Each structure stands twice: as C-alpha cells, then as structure tokens.
Structure 1
C-alpha cells in the first residue's frame, strides 16, 4: 500500500483544493438547523463565505464603488492596503485549518497506529527521521517520541552540525539514548572487507591516497570546528543523564575535544559497550584510564591516534588497570601509537575473550609479544590479527608466529595481516628490510588450515613501482599472484605497494624524527544548520 497517497502535504493543501476540506455552506443547511452566531464578526464572515463563486464580478464592482466613495487618494490607498491585509489574514486562517484537518485525516487513514509508527521511525537514520517529521503534523508528533532518537547519527562527509544540534537530539532522546555518532567521518578505504560480528572498522588512514589526505586537510582546515569540547556535555547530569544507558559512542575528527572533557563524558556512560575514537587530540594513557574507571562493560575499543607515532604515553599500570577493570573486551584496536611489546603482551594475555586485534601503523612493535601465546596463557580465542605497517615488525617473529600456529596454537585464527610498505625488519639491523620473506612453514600451514587468510603485501625491493614480486616457490610452494588462492581454498596475498616512508630511527623513540605526522591546521568555521 502506497502510504504517500494517504498523506496531504501541508504546503499543497488549501481550503479549496479538496472538497472534503471545505466548510459546508450554511445556505445548504435547513433553516431550522442554522444557529445564529452571537459574534458579529462571525456573522459577517459567514455571510461572505455564503457568496457563490459567480459573485466575484459583483464583489469587484462593489470594491470599486467603495474606492470611489473616498475623496482623497491617500484614503483609497489605505482601503487597498487594508483589503490586502484582511485577505492575507483570511488565507492564513484557511491554511491553518486545512493543515489541522489534513493532519486529522492522516491520523485516521494512516495504516499503522501511533506506537507502530514510532517503532518504524526508531529504525530510521537521523536525517531520514527529520525529513519524515516535516511531512505532516501527525508524523511530527510521532517523530517527537524519545524512542525515535535512541540511535543518533550526526556524522557526515563534511561538517553539518554544531553543539546546539547535538544537544537538541540528546535531549529528545533522554534516557532512551543508546547510540551516538558525531563528527566528520574520514573517507573509508576498504582494506580487509568487513567482519560485522567482530565490529571491525574498514577505515585505514595510513593507506589513504595522497589525494584523500589533501581533501581532508583542506576540509578540516576550514570547517571542522563546528563541534567543540562541550559537544558531549548533554550526556552528563546529576543522578543519571542521557549517557547512563548509552551503549555505543563513535567520535570522528572532533579536534577541539580534550582529555578533560572526554573523560568527563565517559564518566557519564557506565553502560558503554562500543567505543570508537578517530582523530581526537586525546592521549592514549588518559583515555584508557577514563575507560578503566567508568566503562567496565566495554566490549569493543577502537582508538586511532590523531598524530601517528607521537603518542607514547601508555604506562604499564594503565595496561593492568584496563585488563582488570574491563575484562569483557573482545575487540581491541590501537592504531598509530608507540606500543612496546611488553605492554601489548599484557593486553593479549590479559583479555580472555579477545577475538580481534588491530595494531596497524603502530611503532615499536617487533612481534615479540606473540611468543608463547595461543594456549591457556591467553590469545587462544584470537580470530583476527592485524599488524599492518608496523615498521619494527621482525621477519623472524612473524616466522615464529606461523610456526606456533602450525604447532596447534591459535586454533580460531582466520585472518592474519603482516603487510608492510617498507618490508619487514631483520633481527640484526632494523634498517635492513626484507621485501621477500621466506616463511618456510607457510605452505604447510595453509594446507592444514584451509580457512586461514594470510595477507603479506610488500613492495619490490628498492622500487616504488607496483610490479609483481616473485615469492620463494621452493619454500612456500605458493603462486606469486596477488591475492592468489591455493587449490585447497586458502588465501595468501603477496603484492607490491608504493613505499611509504616513516623516517623512523632505530629505537623508534626519537620524537623529532618520526613520521609521517599529519598536522591538521584548522580555523573556526561558521555553524552549519543540520538538514
């Protein structure tokens, strides 16, 4: 059933466009049923409305005679102006009445009752909900229910909202708020496909092409500051506010957000299950401290640094607190930070339900943290492990990890990514890069684990040109084609990619010689109304 045929748009309905909306002429009623109006204005207006449509010529002649009876031109102008005002007021009154009647009509003929309509509206995205609310008064009333704003998504490719819009949406939702997404979403770059059951994000900032980064620079430099540090303040209230039952919080590129404001917002969200942070200028250590204090039910944590390679604030006590106080974490992504293996080992070993790990573009990772894991010591439930573009990742550690899988550990692992734009590091010299690792056990591993996908994309040695690279067929017995499939259905990818220079020092600890650093220069933009 096409419900659009049942609705009268308020901008097109008029007092004369629909015969059903006309007021019945009193002259058509029996004389005994007429009730004289005690108000003289009502009597006068009713007399005018009783005039037939054919009396337009007579009305025009009558108006001319009134004008001619005025001796002065100024009096005639006043009569004309007054007639315009009266006509406009009468038209506005007719339109208001028509809209009210149309709304009543929609409420009667609409196929769904109000409660089901509200439930349908609660499944719409925020922008579609606002459009539906503007259709008619009946839809506007249904869309005002707090349940319709339980999932607020105000993200967009360009800034469209300010703090006032966010506050309005949160206040409408009240304690029904379950999901909140804010900010300027980056251009998605598909890397691994999707893993919806694990909540994997497909964003990969380090793999974005230069044109995408240039677009981001120019856009953020002019209009990214429509949201400020206080945009999450409406979540906070004494005695439990809208953030009390919030389950999902995703924040993208809100560059004015700071540690204090973000920590205060997290303290008001004790029921949080899914936290995603991208492009916020907040420190890793303070953020994890706030999470461990307030969000003990957290299941998914995705945190991408806004300044790749600079943030090394993570401390050992913070790691232990997070593992102890947030034991339910199954998805952990910390991208672009300086993460020594010792601290990562605390996470992988401590989170007993951990299934998804992504430490892409992170510095200081050698792979040592994976030793002696995969059994009862932790990591036994791991399904996805992504160590893409970890510049200190060693070939020997990757080979040792593959041997551990072949030996029976990590039985649930189905996706492994050790790709690197600068190749893998050797044990003796970090500056010596390996662009064609042998991985002697990989061929046998893929035979025994046909559902395991291994991605190991490396550039041709000393070349920035994307050319096919020949793998060691003697060691691996695998085709050298990009993303090739073995006869048993397993997948292994070896493909060249353009070199991506990080200019890291040997210890990855020199703050003046790490890169790339995407400095985001921005200026305050004017508020842009949403929708």
Structure 2
C-alpha cells in the first residue's frame, strides 16, 4: 500500500454524491470569464478593413487545414452559429440600453403611462408597443384595450387580431368596433351638433349612405363569422361588461354568429350594425332578449327595401324589454306604418328616430293621438322615404303647431324623388309650399326643418333616361339632379325595390284596417 501513488488520477478517491465539493464545482470545466472577455475583446477590436482581411485569411487557412470535407462544413457552420450568437447578443444589449434610457428619459411611471395609453386609439397603442420594451410592457396592460377600434378603410384585420385584443382586455372590455368604413367613426349624440344636407348626406353613424352602398361588392373583409367568438370565451367573461358594439360591412357575418355574440353581451348600451347580411327580425329578437339595457340602436340594412321581417310580436318584445331606448334608427328596411307607430308610441324615452330609406312608410304612423303630446322625441329623420306622402307631412306640421311633439327640434323629410301624392304615385311633390314653415319657425325658435328635393320634373326625366333597367337591376347614377339650394351634384342610387316593390308599399291594403284614433292612445 505504501508504493501506491495517491496522486495518480486513476486511483484517486471519488467524492460522494452528497459531497459539498461536487455541488460547488461543475463536472465540466468552463473557461475563465477573464479569458473569454479577452478573447471577445480581440474579436471586437478587428473593426477596420485590414483586420477584417486578416480575419478572412486566417479563417480560410483554418478551413484548408481540415482534410475532410465534412470537417470543413462543420467549421463553417460553427462560425456562422458564433456570428449569430454575437449578433443576437448585440441586439439584446441594445434593447436593454434603449429600455433603460427610455425609462430614465420618460418622466412618467408605468401606472400613468398605462393610463395615457388607455386614452389612445387602438392603432396608436400598437405603434407605441413597438417602440421599446418599456412601452411594450405598458401596452400589454388590459386597460389599454378597454376600447378596441379595429375599423379600417380596406380589409386588413383578421380574426386572430380581434381575438388577441379581446383576450388582452378580458373583463375590462368596454367598447368594440370592427369592419370596413369609408371614414372614421363619428357616433351621433342628441347633444352634439348635427349636419345633414343633400350635398353632404351624413347620417347618424357618421357615414354617407352612398359611400356605404358603394363599398358592397368591391371588397371582401378578412373577418369571418367567427370574429366575435372570443366574446363568449370563458363563459362570456370578455363580453360581460361590453357597452358599445359597432359592426360595419362584415360580409361573412350571419344571423347565428351575431345572435351568439349578443347573448354574451348583456350590458350593451350602444349597438350599431351597418351592412351585415343579417335579418331584422332575428336581430331585434336577440336584442330584446339579451341586451335589455340598450339605449342606442342603429341598424342599417345591407339589402335596401327587401327586409320586411319585423312583425308585431317582435316589435312588442322590443318595447317591453328595452325600455331605456332613447335613439332608434332602422334604415333601409321595409317597415309599415303600423309597426312604426307602435315603436314610436311604445318607446316612451325615445328622443332620436330615423326611418330613412324605409320604402313602405307613408307618414301615417305619426298620428299617435294623445301620446304625441307627451312624446320626448327631439329628432325625426325620414330622408328618402319614397312613399312618404305630402298629405301626411302636412298633417304632421299642423300637429306640431297645435302643440304635439313639443320637444321636437329637428325634422328632415328630404327626398331625392320628392313626396308622394294621394292617388297618383308618379305625380310627385317637389316643394314645401303646403307647409306653414314661417309660422312653425316663429312658434318654435331654433327649430331645424329640412326638406330638400330635386327640381320639379327631375324624377320623370331620370325615369325616362334609365328606362326599364330600374325594374330589373340595382345600379347607381352619379351627378344626379341638383338640389335647388345646392350647387353640388348629388350621388343618387336607385334600386329594384325603389321602383318595383310595392309602389303602394303595402299600405293601401292596410289603410282601412289601420286607423289611428286621435282621441285615444290605441291603434284600431
């Protein structure tokens, strides 16, 4: 035993697995940090062209020193991996330094930065998030996505983007706007100034009717029927507190997808639907069942004048289940006077009413008897209602002078085709001489009355020009007849339904069965 050299590695005693020395020392040997630093420093010092040339020559010699082709390839790959490692290390260090710099230069703490980001629009938040890691971290806070606006002029938003942002917002989601719009959204409020002229036909949603119609068939949205499915995730948590939902021209949205989304959004106050291929009856049924806190409902048909699905039972459900409605717009639907009268009479808080481009109404629905005295209605828009009758407008003007609708301060009966006359649908009225406008403005100071029509006879000339094509297909005419008060041309749109579908609008058959007894609150 005395002859054994204890320093021989093969005969040395192996430490126990629980030995402190084994835990403190790694099993493999790493180069010292100072040596690695010196080596890296030597590489980094090769910055000028001459040193780079020397490095190239040295690397070529190393390659040539390998006899096997496989060894040469391996050396090249190792060099490329090392270069990528150095590149990523440089980028990472640059980001860290930039983040530290921004956090020092940016005067606000994270909580105030998040608060500011929450006031920005969605696109601005995304831009800020890409600026630096400090802003990126702040922009990931759910509060920054409480109000999501992904409306675009051209299709570029996908379902994945919508889902990601809804998931980031979670329970804090308050507002969601999706789809294709011709201009930025500008929602209407009764308290806001409002402009509606034939030269600039801006409606309650902030878009031109002609702009909205012209987009159909040109572009296809990337969004599909499942773009709102995230609202129902986690037992409907993301949609639970959603108060505003605006959807524009999502062509692939259908009734089932929309109704499923509305089921997950019981707190909606503001619902705007434009250009979706969904049915009026099913949508209003879902609203009355699931969105009973709604205060503003703006619904514009994608098929003007062809949807007449709204019937009495659904109308009654909407009145009974949505008592907080103060703003209602049903545009482009085939509504009848009886339905419109029930809505006007039953929604007792209604301040804004828009039935524009509703081809079936004649205006008889405004005769709601003693309810007219108590009506809080402030704005009434009946623009381009093709069957709106001269006699009913005259009767309504007399009712205003007698004290009905005492809160009404804005009335729009502008019509690109003039008002209909009793007994002769083609004999149109193009003036307001039958309305005592001067007396009306004297008794109601500040009252805004708009009745813009094309010059008399323009409707007949246009009909002769377009011939029978108007009865068979949808088309549009630009540079139509000019307004008497306008020096600009009006883009006019004529549809099959505007000429061929019920020129009597279904009201002639119902006139005898729908008589408003002005001495009572009931419709006989």
Relative to the length of structure 1, the TM-score reads: 0.76
The answer to whether the 8 A contact 1:356-1:382 is kept is yes
State the SS of the aligned residue for 2:380: strand
Q: Could you tell me how far apart the structure 2 residues matched to 1:388 and 1:508 are?
A: 16
Q: Note the C-alpha offset of 1:126.
A: 1.1
**Cα offset, 1:264, TM superposition:** 1.0
Give the counterpart of 2:504 among 493, 504, 507.
507
Match of 1:45 among 36, 40, 43: 36
Tell me the distance in 2 between the aligned counterparts of 1:68 and 1:336.
80
Shifted more, 299-308 versus 159-168: the winner is 159-168
- Name the CA distance, whole Å, in 1 between partners of 2:250 and 2:288: 22
Superposition deviation, residue 142 in structure 1: 0.5
1:355 to 351, 361, 385: 351
User: Residues 202 and 67 (structure 1 numbering): CA distance in 2 closer, same or farther, change over 3 Å?
Assistant: closer
Hey, what's the Cα distance between the residues in 1 that align with 2:82 and 2:482?
Answer: 79
When residues 195 and 158 of structure 1 are mapped into structure 2, their CA distance, relative to the original with a 3 A threshold, is farther
Q: Cα gap change, 1:53/1:158 in structure 2, threshold over 3 Å: closer, same or farther?
A: same
| Aligned counterparts of 1:461 and 1:500: Cα–Cα separation in 2 | 18
The structure 1 residue matched to 2:162, chosen from 162, 166, 175, is: 166
Count of aligned positions: 443
Paired residue for 1:489? Answer: none
Q: Is the 8 A contact 1:299 1:330 kept in 2?
A: yes
- Aligned residue number for residue 136 of structure 1: 132
Which residue of structure 1 aligns with residue 247 of structure 2?
Answer: 251
In the other structure, the counterpart of 1:307 is 303
Distance 1:125 1:173 in 2: 14
SS at match of 2:414: coil
2: CA distance, partners of 1:498 / 1:237:
44
Is 1:148 aligned to 2:153, yes or no? no
Q: 1:500 to 1:195 in 2, by over 3 A?
A: farther
Relative to structure 1, is the Cα distance of residues 289 and 451 closer, same or farther in structure 2, using a 3 angstrom cutoff? same
User: What do residues 243-274 of structure 1 show as CA deviations (whole Å, max 9, x unaligned)?
Assistant: 00000000011121111111111010000000
- What is the DSSP-based 3-state SS (H/G/I as helix, E as strand, rest coil) of the residue aligned with 1:182? strand
The 5 A counterparts of 1:231-380 are: 231-237=227-233, 239-372=235-368, 376-377=371-372, 380=375
Select the residue among 442, 451, 455 that pairs with 1:460. 455
Q: Secondary structure at the match of 1:261?
A: helix
Question: Over residues 275-330 of structure 1, what are the superposed CA-to-partner deviations in whole Å (9 max), with x where a residue is unaligned?
Answer: 00011111111111100001111000000011011101001011111011100000
Closer/same/farther in 2, CA of residues 368 and 101 from structure 1, 3 Å limit: same
Structure 2's unaligned 5+ residue stretches are: 1-28, 195-202, 463-479, 508-524
Measured after TM superposition, the shift of residue 79 of structure 1 is 5.3
Deviations 1:39-87 (A, max 9, x none): 3063332112455948966786577467547546867786566444423
For residue 11 of structure 1, what is the aligned residue in structure 2?
Answer: none
Q: 1:186, CA displacement in angstroms?
A: 3.9
- Does 500-509 or 234-243 show the bigger shift? 500-509
Q: Distance in 2 between matches of 1:186 and 1:173?
A: 27
- Residue 508 of structure 1: how far off its partner (Å): 2.3
Corresponding residue number in structure 1 for 2:204: 200
Contact 2:224 2:252 in 1 (8 A): yes
Q: Write out per-residue CA displacement over residues 327-357 of structure 1, whole angstroms, 9 at most, x where no aligned residue.
A: 0000000001111111111111111111111
Give the 5 Å matches for 1:399-438: 399-438=394-433
Relative contact order higher in (CA < 8 Å, ≥ 6 apart): 1
1:105-154 per-residue CA deviation (whole Å, 9 max, x = no partner) reads: 32233211111111111111111111110111111110000110001111
Q: Is the 8 A contact 2:380 2:410 kept in 1?
A: yes
**8 Å Cα contact 1:193/1:202 also seen in 2:** no
Shift of 1:240: 3.6
Report the Cα distance in structure 1 between the residues aligned to 2:104 and 2:378, rounded to whole angstroms. Answer: 53
Equivalent-residue separation in structure 1 for 2:85 and 2:492 (angstroms): 71
Write out per-residue CA displacement over residues 394-416 of structure 1, whole angstroms, 9 at most, x where no aligned residue: 11111111111112222222211
Aligned partners of 2:439 and 2:358: how far apart in 1? 30
1:202 Cα offset (Å): 2.8
